[in-house]
Amino acid sequence: MEIIVAKNSGWCYGVRRALDIAKETRQKKAGKVFTFGDLIHNPQVIADLRKQKIYSVEDLDELKEGTVIIRSHGVSPDSYKLLEKKNIEIVDATCPIVKKIQKLVAFLAEKKEEIIIIGNKEHPEIKGIIGFSRGKGIIMENEAEVKDMPSKKRRAVIAQSTQDLYLFKKIVVALIDKTEEINMYNTICHSTQTRQKSTSELASNVDTLFIVGGKNSSNTNKLYQISKRILPNTHFIESAAQITSEMLKGARKIGLSGGASTPPEAIQKAVTKIKSHFKHQFQTEKIAQCPR
Ligand code: SF4
């Protein structure tokens, strides 16, 4: 029996950075410290932050005092304005890659381009990005939505940083029929792309695969969909406790991967649980090579 952990899995640069900024802020500030929304989409990490007295608020109107940390997903210009008006101190942990996407959208909006934003309408990153589009942005979640669109001379297309590359390509191809000139910007971040590649390679190479991470994490969900397309025997688990004997029945080669918001320890705990299930069998554990 073999266990393979994808090398490109777990916390990305933007998430690590946001967590470090939050901890540093807590040490420096005597007053109340909040995050606007959960800092990362992972229940264990959020519980840990609460223990450190860093609380998550969903509505900026709730804030009366203290410091608010903007998470890696970023926010819209209106949110910055509201916080300034309320005199709330802002610590901006927006991932620099998301900042770049926001700037690109603001630039395209200034040129009066129609901007197709391929992403999840309810995702905070998209809610922030659309705010930079000055009414020129249209959010699309799937290629079926292209059917009802009017034909147009020119469109710009960008993606949520954690978008599934396969879906992005499918929507761009569908848009070709409706658009004379497409300016396509592949804004899917490198961390996301390497995680998606590692996971799809791993899914082709094992008989059972576990995607570890928060069910509310967009990028972890994408990894699950990618793996499930290749390997139906893919399981999405939030913690090691959810691994059952049924899931491991007949498994000989088991892969594990996690999204950008999955703590490395969560993957390690899942490995330990699998190892203990197969404790009487020969095991090897290895880190999958990063695909180029
Ligand atoms: S997934 Fe990419 S863009 Fe999003 S926070 Fe991580 S590094 Fe930044």
- pLDDT, averaged in runs of 10, over the chain (292 residues): 89 93 95 94 87 94 93 96 95 98 98 95 96 97 94 97 92 95 96 92 97 89 94 96 95 94 92 89 60 38
Same domain, 104 and 72: no
**Is 8 close to ligand 1, i.e. is its CB under 6 Å away?**
no
Write the CA distances from 278 to 2, 3, 4, 237, 257, integer angstroms: 10, 11, 14, 19, 19
**What does the pLDDT read at residue 223?**
94
The residues, any chain, with a CB within 8 Å of residue 188's CB and separated by 6 or more, are 159, 160, 161, 162, 163, 165, 168
CA of 15 relative to ligand 1 center, distance in Å: 7
Same domain, 101 and 122: yes
Same domain, 38 and 106: no
Q: Which amino acid is at 248?
A: L
CA of 150 relative to ligand 1 center, distance in Å: 32
Same domain, 101 and 152: yes
**3-state SS, one letter per residue, for 62-78:** HCCCCEEEECCCCCCHH
Query: In 10 A of CB 195, how many CB atoms?
Result: 28
Same domain, 182 and 136: yes
Which atom number of ligand 1 is nearest to the Cα of residue 12? 6
Q: Among the three residues 42, 77, 95, which one is the final residue of a domain in this structure?
A: 95
- Torsion angle in degrees (nearest 10) through CA of 122, 239, 74, 141: -30
Same domain, 21 and 7: no
Same domain, 102 and 180: yes
**What does the pLDDT read at residue 219?**
87
Q: Among the three residues 44, 66, 95, which one is the final residue of a domain in this structure?
A: 95
Which of 16, 189, 218, when mutated, tests ligand 1's pocket best, judged by the most ligand atoms within 8 Å of its CB? 189
Which atom number of ligand 1 is nearest to the Cα of residue 219? 1
pTM score, two decimals?
Answer: 0.86
Axis crossing angle, helix 13-28 with helix 96-110, rounded to the nearest 10? 110
Q: Among the three residues 188, 213, 237, which one is the final residue of a domain in this structure?
A: 188
**Is 14 close to ligand 1, i.e. is its CB under 6 Å away?**
yes
**Is 162 close to ligand 1, i.e. is its CB under 6 Å away?**
yes
CATH of the domain at 60: 3.40.50.11270
Query: How many domains does one find in the chain?
Result: 3
Same domain, 247 and 165: no
Which atom number of ligand 1 is nearest to the Cα of residue 190? 2
**What does the pLDDT read at residue 261?**
86
**Is 161 close to ligand 1, i.e. is its CB under 6 Å away?**
yes
> CA-CA distance, 221 to 199, in Å (whole number)?
12
**Is 259 close to ligand 1, i.e. is its CB under 6 Å away?**
no
Provide the token pair at 158.
Answer: 């960008």
Atom 2 of ligand 1, residue of closest alpha carbon: 189
**Is 95 close to ligand 1, i.e. is its CB under 6 Å away?**
yes
DSSP state, residue 291: P
Per-residue pLDDT tens digits for 91-115: 999 999 999 999 999 999 999 999 9
CA of 159 relative to ligand 1 center, distance in Å: 12
> CA-CA distance, 15 to 42, in Å (whole number)?
11
Provide the token pair at 262.
Answer: 């999955």
**What does the pLDDT read at residue 11?**
87
Which atom number of ligand 1 is nearest to the Cα of residue 18? 5
The residue segments making up the domain with residue 141 are 97-188
Per-residue pLDDT tens digits for 23-82: 999 999 999 999 999 998 888 889 999 999 999 999 999 899 999 999 999 999 999 999
Residue located via tokens 């899942």: 270
Looking at the annotation, which residues are catalytic? 125
Per-residue exposure over 257-286, b if at least 16 CB sit within 10 Å of its own CB, e if not:
bbbbbbbeebbebbbebbeebeeeeeeeee
**What does the pLDDT read at residue 42?**
80
Same domain, 19 and 68: yes
CA of 160 relative to ligand 1 center, distance in Å: 10
Same domain, 35 and 111: no
% of the chain residues with pLDDT over 90: 81
Same domain, 196 and 178: no
**What does the pLDDT read at residue 10?**
84
**Is 192 close to ligand 1, i.e. is its CB under 6 Å away?**
yes
Query: In 10 A of CB 34, how many CB atoms?
Result: 19
**What does the pLDDT read at residue 233?**
97
Same domain, 128 and 149: yes
CA of 98 relative to ligand 1 center, distance in Å: 7
CA of 97 relative to ligand 1 center, distance in Å: 7
Pick the closest to residue 43 from 209, 280, 242 (CA basis): 242
CATH of the domain at 220: 3.40.1010.20
**Is 191 close to ligand 1, i.e. is its CB under 6 Å away?**
yes
